[in-house]
Amino acid sequence: PSGAVSQAALNRGSEKRGRRHEDSARLVPTVFPIPMPWLLQASINAMATPVNGAPVDANLWSSHEKMLAQPLKDSDVEVYNIIKKESNRQRVGLELIASENFASRAVLEALGSCLTNKYSEGYPGQRYYGGTEFIDELEVLCQKRALQVYGLDPQGWGVNVQPYSGSPANFAVYTALVEPHGRIMGLDLPDGGHLTHGFMTNKKKISATSIFFESMPYKVQVNPDTGYINYDQLEENARLFHPKLIIAGTSCYSRNLDYARLREIADDNGAYLMADMAHISGLVAAGVVPSPFEHCHVVSTTTHKTLRGCRAGMIFYRKGVRSVDPKTGRETRYNLESLINSAVFPGLQGGPHNHAIAGVAVALKQAMTPEFRLYQRQVLANCRALAETLMGLGYKVATGGSDNHLILVDLRSKGTDGGRAEKVLEACSIACNKNTCPGDKSALRPSGLRLGTPALTSRGLLEEDFQKVAHFIHRGWSRAESQSIAQQTVWAERVAGAWTAEQSGPAAGGTWAVASLAGAGIELTLQIQDTVGVKATLKEFTEKLAGAEDHQRAVAALRAEVESFAALFPLPGLPDF
């Protein structure tokens, strides 16, 4: 179009921008009444005109527009390459960290959308920003799906989908329901609880929960050493401690919780019962483990573990009638909604991450499908196979098995600890994490390895595949030098399927490097520990692992087999990564 913008209007716009951004250069191009084909060039030329004494480089402005349109691989090759390397690590490695999973392509696309641009402090219909019509629509949809996936009546339950993750969600619940220095009871971290449930040591309060609130942990049974939660002791301690809130949640506990018993204990002490189902939310959605909603007042969760969404959090809370006086018939109603919502915003957070809410909404829709329920059943079957195989190889698994997606392997009987085993397995492209076991004196030298099956199940591994994974963890290939090559090949085929030496053998000429192995996996951990001594630091242990040629040969051989095996399975996500 032709026509001109008055200089006065341009000046007013310039002054307004100047008030908002006093330290920024103000670009005020002049608009000329000339034909359209020449408008772009004329505008660029006009940018060379000094504005408030500072000349504007037309080429630089054009380059700025190009920067906004460039794909990542052109815009920032360093970050692009780091992401590519991480993508390859995930593709050729075995991901056994119980809190990890592989988000679907649809979830990742929602995360990378224009929704990341929008601020929307407040709640649907009550925002502090304009332009939130579609943000409101999205958040309401996410809330609706969150209630649907767990079979909750909107008259009896509400949900806040704005928490940035699980830890902020938990702290929001504490802020809402427990006054400062009020009393909280959660499962102790060495016994399988989460850091945010109030962890502290004899010398220091570690978690902010234990700093701002009074925390008393409950424990698992130690005599006899079953690894199961000691509900009787919890009940006795609750009578003495009088908690305001009891947390039914775990981070490394492989058995189902007795929510009914926990609710009885909470009611006896006038306490709220909160479930932190972060680890099992996908299993609960699929109906393959007991649901906490029947017994709990509040339920918090992350959305990126077994639920297989993006990194975010949710808080479910009861609504409606809490109790009825049997004499007067007077109803007492829950007031959790206003308490929790105000604790999330404006109490602890600012604007919600709308791109994450979109990713959660997508994951919740997927969680209501028959395919998702099939996946969760397979997660449980794979975990049983992993536990049984490792126990058959002589490992102690806490509680003797698992009801859910994870196991805790206690390495004390093997004479080593989780930190050293984690380092060796990581070098062999097997990712897991060290974890405290009941009775550990320090979280800095935990005795266990936590292993989970959700991520690899998302890639398509089944029970027989997890049996192979267990053997990788144990020692890799057989190191019995007295065995013949034929015997070793039989072992390799039994563990790794129908692979041939020519297909994936790491040694030149297509022969297995089995005979030269000094051991790998947990066995290699023990061998290195024998060399450096049990009192050596983790740093000294790691240096020995990296510096000894024979150990590196063993690691390289196992890593080659692990990566060949892992690469057989597809990696969910975006095609570029």
In a shared domain, residues 480 and 412:
yes
CATH of the domain at 397: 3.90.1150.10
Rg (CA), the chain: 29
Tell me the two tokens of residue 160.
């806040």
Residue identified by tokens 């794979």 is 382
Last residue of a domain, one of 349, 382, 399: 349
In a shared domain, residues 184 and 317:
yes
Q: Considering its fold, how many domains does the chain have in total?
A: 3
Question: What is the model's pLDDT at position 128?
Answer: 96
Write the CB contacts of 92 (distance below 8 Å, at least 6 apart in sequence). 429, 562, 563, 566, 567
Question: What is the model's pLDDT at position 540?
Answer: 87
Write down the catalytic residue from 194, 279, 295, 304. 304
Question: What is the model's pLDDT at position 27?
Answer: 40
Q: Which H helix or E strand runs over 322?
A: strand 321-324
Write the CB contacts of 251 (distance below 8 Å, at least 6 apart in sequence). 99, 189, 192, 193, 194, 195, 278, 279
Tell me the two tokens of residue 484.
């013949």
Residue identified by tokens 């978690």 is 207
| Distance of alpha carbon 432 from alpha carbon 27, whole angstroms | 53
Nearest CA among 451, 454, 458 for reference residue 473: 451
DSSP of 323-370, one letter per residue?
EE-TTT--EEE--HHHHHHHIIIIII-SS--HHHHHHHHHHHHHTTSH
Q: Is 181 a catalytic residue?
A: no
Residue identified by tokens 């000329």 is 32
Question: What is the model's pLDDT at position 523?
Answer: 76
Write down the catalytic residue from 142, 252, 296, 310. 252
Flag whether 338 is in a domain: yes
**Coil vs helix vs strand at 414:** helix
Write the CB contacts of 229 (distance below 8 Å, at least 6 apart in sequence). 187, 191, 218, 219, 220, 221, 253, 255, 257, 258
Last residue of a domain, one of 349, 364, 387: 349
Averages of pLDDT over each 10 residues, the chain, 577 residues? 43 46 41 48 56 75 94 96 97 98 98 98 97 99 99 98 98 96 96 93 90 95 87 98 98 98 98 98 99 99 98 98 90 96 98 99 99 99 98 95 98 90 94 92 88 99 98 60 35 39 35 37 80 85 85 89 97 91
Cα 395–Cα 201–Cα 172 angle in degrees, nearest 5:
100
The torsion angles phi and psi of 519, rounded to 5 degrees, stand at 110, 160
Beta strand 183-187 with 245-249 is parallel
**Coil vs helix vs strand at 534:** coil
In a shared domain, residues 213 and 283:
yes
**Count of residues in the chain:** 577
In a shared domain, residues 289 and 377:
no
Q: Is 114 a catalytic residue?
A: no
Flag whether 57 is in a domain: yes
In a shared domain, residues 325 and 398:
no
Which domain does 262 fall in, by range? 159-349
Contact 454, 98 (CB under 8 A): yes
Question: What is the model's pLDDT at position 50?
Answer: 59
The torsion angles phi and psi of 274, rounded to 5 degrees, stand at -115, 130
Number of Cβ atoms within 10 Å of the Cβ of 224? 7
In a shared domain, residues 376 and 298:
no
| Distance of alpha carbon 504 from alpha carbon 273, whole angstroms | 53
The torsion angles phi and psi of 75, rounded to 5 degrees, stand at -75, -40
In a shared domain, residues 319 and 414:
no
Last residue of a domain, one of 23, 50, 69: 69
CATH of the domain at 276: 3.40.640.10
Flag whether 150 is in a domain: no
In a shared domain, residues 260 and 296:
yes
